[in-house]
Chain A
Amino acid sequence: MTEVVGIQHFMVLSTLMFFIGVYGFLTRKNLITILLSIELILNSVNINFVAFNKYLYPENLGGHFFAMFVIAVAATEVAVAIAIIISLYRKLKMIDVENVNEMKY
């Protein structure tokens, strides 16, 4: 299989995906959709790591392991966030970000 696609293609793709995630993060109000935007951002970073590993340092597998650890951290983050969202829903019966400052009291 010949390598035609360069590393810059992957970096431009992951930049676009990252900023689409940032856009969702800025405009959404529902906590779960904000969580989905964060997943998009983490996923674009993973693509970047793997492309660097493939094109620049193929012998060390460093980017591969970084992507694996990012996936593990994303899984824990989602678990804790969902726990917080469910306990918030039990108290407030809604999960919009405007009401979350109730948590302080």
Chain B
Amino acid sequence: MSETVFYILASFILIFSVLTVTSRKILRTAVYLLFVLLGTCGFYFAMEFNFLAAVQLTVYAGGIVVIIIFSIMLTSDLQDKLPAVKFKKIFFSLIAVLFGAAVCITTILSYEFPAMTTKVLDSSMRTIGLRLLGYQENGFVLPFEVISILLLAAMIGSIIIAKKADTEN
């Protein structure tokens, strides 16, 4: 990935992240989040993780943002603006956030990351499938099955929670 591509994508992501947390129109925040997710997907494509980029597009940009927009339309009045945040709250949040970011960034920049190994990245679909269902070394079949049970439990749980209370009796 060349430096120009990195800086274009990074500034795109950062601008839309800031807009996501500061915009006062609730539907626009969801659309800004969609742009952030698309920028991240661009990073995955540039790093040659094509399958992960496709997952990001379908699950995040296609699924999660649509479900969030649906729930915004069910629960909020789209004409209303969100109330302005108090200055005191902004001030103390900014102090906490800037302090945390400064600590993390100084730590990152002071650490010498070991040089890249000579091995090449193989992210073809065949390798991904074999690793995902492999039970030898570097196989991921156990977390795969755990995630499938988690998805089933979340599906049943969200149906039960969102069901109308009257139908229970």
A57-B113 Cα distance, complex, nearest whole Å: 12
Size bracket of the A interface: 35 or more
Q: Write out the residue numbers on chain A whose beta carbons fall within 8 Å of the beta carbon of B123.
A: 61, 64
Indicate if the CB atoms of B40 and A86 lie closer than 8 Å: no
Q: Mark B68-107, 1 if CB is under 8 A from A, else 0.
A: 1001101110000011010001100110111011001100
Q: Write out the residue numbers on chain B whose beta carbons fall within 8 Å of the beta carbon of A69.
A: 143, 147
Q: Write out the residue numbers on chain B whose beta carbons fall within 8 Å of the beta carbon of A79.
A: 67, 154-155, 158
- Say what secondary structure dominates the interface of chain A: helix
Indicate if the CB atoms of A59 and B119 lie closer than 8 Å: yes
Indicate if the CB atoms of B121 and A54 lie closer than 8 Å: yes
Indicate if the CB atoms of B60 and A2 lie closer than 8 Å: no
B1-18 with Cβ < 8 A to chain A = 1-3, 6, 10, 13-14, 17-18
Q: Mark A8-42, 1 if CB is under 8 A from B, else 0.
A: 11111101111111111011111011011101100
8 new A-B contacts at CB < 8 Å, known A9-B6, A28-B82, A37-B21? A12-B105, A13-B13, A19-B97, A23-B93, A46-B40, A59-B122, A75-B59, A83-B157
Residues of B within 8 A of A (CB): 1-3, 6, 10, 13-14, 17-18, 20-22, 26, 29-30, 33, 36-37, 40, 43-44, 47-49, 52, 55-56, 59-60, 63-64, 67-68, 71-72, 74-76, 82-83, 85, 89-90, 93-94, 96-98, 100-101, 104-105, 108-109, 113-114, 116-117, 119-123, 127-128, 131-132, 138, 140, 143, 147, 150-151, 154-155, 157-159, 161-162, 164
